Structure 1
Amino acid sequence: APVQLYRDGVTTDYRSMETGWETSFVQATRHGIEALRRGEQPRLSGRDAREILRFALAAQESARTGAAVRLEPDTMESQA
């Protein structure tokens, strides 16, 4: 079923949407590159992106090994 967005008296239908979580990584990367090219601030900071990557890599490791992966505090964050 399509997703409908109703805002300010206008209804917009979205029928073909990417639903895989991996799409968000591709889109965020593209947005970041385009923002840098235009001299604009990207939606995600470099620190935000690094934290997302740490989480994604830990999730992959956990799925691969079947064990819990503990994320320690980001040492680079504490040095900032």
Structure 2
Amino acid sequence: MTISFEIPGEIEQRLRSAGADPNQTARELLLIELYRQKQVTHYQISQALGLSRYEVDGLLKKYDVPLDLTIDEFHAEAASLRELRQG
């Protein structure tokens, strides 16, 4: 799906001056907002943006969004961390 909209050149310049790609920023912000509204999952964000699980965690942190893990996801995360510590 493609979504197009115009933004003022001033905003585009501000984003580019900060080293941000306006298209990527718009995609990230849309998906982050959908995640906040519980309309997409962590996994769906990773698939849509081509990011690893940990990169999505970093993206959520960047936008001050807490992780919304199910109990099963929490246990899987804890198991992964235990394996890393032992490894």
Scaled by the length of structure 2, the TM-score of the pair is 0.30
Structure index of larger Rg: 1
Scaled by the length of structure 1, the TM-score of the pair is 0.32
